[in-house]
Structure 1
Amino acid sequence: MRVFVTGATGFIGSAIVKELIAAGHTVLGLTRSEEGAKALEAAGAEVHHGTLQDLESLRSGAAACDGVIHTAFIHDFSKFQENCDTDRGVIAALASALEGTNRPLIVTSGTGLGAYAPGEVAVEDNVATSKTTHHPRVASEEAAALAAAKGVNVSIMRLPPSVHDKGDHGFVPMLIGIARDKGSSAYVNEGAGRWPAVHRLDAAHLYRLVLEKGVSGTYHAVGDTGVPTRQIAEVIGKHLNLPVKSVTPEEAATHFGWFSGFFASDVPASAKLTSERTGWQPTHIGLLEDMESNYFES
């Protein structure tokens, strides 16, 4: 298959590109920079110049391929709602290029949308809409649902809060930076909130499986169902030689800033149905082992 990949030079997308090419597929990777173009060419991919704001470029990239994997997202959390609305439009544009075909479109969302109540284990078959959640990322899933209603073969890949591996620049490195800045590694209350996680290479493998099977649905790329946030904080404290402490929700607002509510949340997720439907099984190390091995190298 010739596959159009958005976010092709990103942390997750670059792993997907390598996974697809190793399996014999051809990749057309979206990039907005010459540096990104060079990285794609070095990986053996074709280059498609464009941005998430250039919807016509996105449509042309999708129309030229046998399938689409959409992982690009603007990671500016000060404009999270705006960026989720942008993603809604991007998905609509990609889907419009695939209407009337059975070519697969895989869009990306978050596992938190698979739970209807705090602490509930998120599952694939829970449908996320504006009526079930106030999470801004629901825009992506509503766009996917609208595409499906138009006959597009669309699937949703929900990723957990931590997609980990060397080179991670997401939430765990953010926590490490906060601990360094504050002089302590903190967790909220008892630190019982659970974070699901997946190794980047396991996630990339699942994207490929879903693409190849071409069966629409919602999938969870989850290796660890829920890692207690206290354990995450303890690993950080040990490696930075900093005290590990509990903070109240009120203190967390000062310690973690805008990130406080998210780190305090209890958002476990299951991949049981995903495994049953695709045969996918994560084979790489879990979050805590990865942190111990790869997140504190000098």
Structure 2
Amino acid sequence: MHVFVTGASGWIGSATIDDLVAAGHRVTGLVRSDAAAARVETAGATALRGDLDDLDALRRGAAESDGVVHLANKHDWSDAAGTSAAERAAVEAMGEVLAGSDRPFVVASGIAGLTQDRPATEQDPSPFVGPDAMRGGSENRAFDFVADGVRSVAARFAPTVHGMGDHGFIAAIVAAARQQGVSGYVGDGTNRWSAVHRSDAARIVRLGLESAPAGTRLHVVAEPALTTRSIAEAIGDGLGLPVTSIDPADADAHFGFIGRFFGFEMSATSDATQQAFDWTPTGPTLFEDIGAGAYFEARGA
């Protein structure tokens, strides 16, 4: 299969390309720079220059492929509206090209906001509909194309996709702990996050691309529900810092941008995903990665 991957040189995208190439697929990756192009080509893929605002490049990549894995996102927390608009426009551009082809279209999504008082399941529909919704309502917009003959699949990622070299949410929480001299959690720390290792995430994305029926919601989750207090305690142990509660009103000042997320409930199960695709996560757990220094040694280098 010839697969077009957006976000190709990113944390999840680069692992996904490695997995796709190892499985025998031919890959074209969307990249924004010469350095990113070099990384993608070293991994055995072809680079296509462009970004999420370059809809012509997105259409070209989709048109020339047998399927699309859409992982790119601007993640501009200072311009949530602009980020959401770009995400929706990208999904629409590629979905329109894929219409009538029955080709797979795997779209990155998340579990934040799906449920409030329990872990989300694959049966929970996304409540985010329309251009003004989170991520531009991209999961539901992608599913709109099922009626047009697109095999749309939502890949709902855990809030932390961890591993050696991770620069995402956990790295930001570690950076806040270093800066503040304490490892904090928000409120009583009983809200929960799910987690998945990067290698496991890449594998289930590929499996979904290869065989998931249209309308499938993949839960890219290995550990369903880790309390944020336990995460803060693991970070505190790793840094040798005290662990303390941060008042929700002070979360943004203490943590920076990550404060708005660290107090959220972001837990989910993946039982249906694991059963349907014979996917058993085998990578290290989040606490194993933290204990192995994944978030400490690189920062101190």
Alignment partner of 2:165 out of 164, 167, 176:
167
Aligned-partner Cα distance in 2 for 1:129–1:253: 25
State the Cα distance separating 1:7 from its structure 2 match. Answer: 0.6
* 1:60 to 1:203, Cα distance in 2 relative to 1, 3 A: same
* 1:231 to 1:148, Cα distance in 2 relative to 1, 3 A: same
User: What amino acid maps onto 2:66 in structure 1?
Assistant: D
Equivalent residue number for residue 204 of structure 1: 202
Equivalent residue number for residue 32 of structure 2: 32
Secondary structure of the 2:206 match is helix
- Number of residue equivalences: 295
Q: TM-score, normalised by structure 1?
A: 0.94
State the Cα distance separating 1:214 from its structure 2 match. Answer: 4.2
Aligned-partner Cα distance in 2 for 1:131–1:100: 23
Aligned-partner Cα distance in 2 for 1:138–1:198: 24
User: What amino acid maps onto 1:48 in structure 2?
Assistant: L
After superposition, residues 17-56 of structure 1 pair within 5 angstroms as 17-56=17-56
Q: Deviations over 1:21-65 (max 9, x none)?
A: 001110011112111111111111111111111111111111111
Q: Gaps spanning 5+ residues in structure 1: where?
A: none
Question: Does structure 2 retain, via aligned residues, the 8 Å contact 1:120–1:267?
Answer: no
User: What amino acid maps onto 1:244 in structure 2?
Assistant: V
Aligned-partner Cα distance in 1 for 2:261–2:34: 35
Q: Deviations over 1:242-294 (max 9, x none)?
A: 11111222233431244323211222101011112111110111111111112
State the Cα distance separating 1:167 from its structure 2 match. Answer: 1.3
Question: Does structure 2 retain, via aligned residues, the 8 Å contact 1:194–1:268?
Answer: yes
RMSD: 1.7
Secondary structure of the 1:78 match is coil
Q: TM-score, normalised by structure 2?
A: 0.93
Equivalent residue number for residue 134 of structure 2: 136
Equivalent residue number for residue 266 of structure 2: 267
Equivalent residue number for residue 242 of structure 1: 241
Q: Gaps spanning 5+ residues in structure 2: where?
A: none
Question: Does structure 1 retain, via aligned residues, the 8 Å contact 2:122–2:219?
Answer: yes
Question: Does structure 2 retain, via aligned residues, the 8 Å contact 1:68–1:104?
Answer: yes
After superposition, residues 78-97 of structure 1 pair within 5 angstroms as 78-97=78-97
- Moved beyond 3 Å, runs of 4+: 129-132
Equivalent residue number for residue 145 of structure 1: 143
Q: Deviations over 1:154-207 (max 9, x none)?
A: 100000110001111111010011111111111122211110010000000001
* 1:39 to 1:228, Cα distance in 2 relative to 1, 3 A: same
Q: What percentage of aligned pairs have identical amino acids?
A: 42
Secondary structure of the 2:280 match is coil
Equivalent residue number for residue 77 of structure 1: 77
Q: Deviations over 1:222-246 (max 9, x none)?
A: 0110111111111211222211111
Aligned-partner Cα distance in 2 for 1:32–1:257: 27
Secondary structure of the 2:105 match is strand
Aligned-partner Cα distance in 2 for 1:42–1:200: 19
Aligned-partner Cα distance in 2 for 1:273–1:53: 35
Q: Deviations over 1:118-159 (max 9, x none)?
A: 232111121113469x96136211221222232211100000
User: What amino acid maps onto 1:83 in structure 2?
Assistant: T
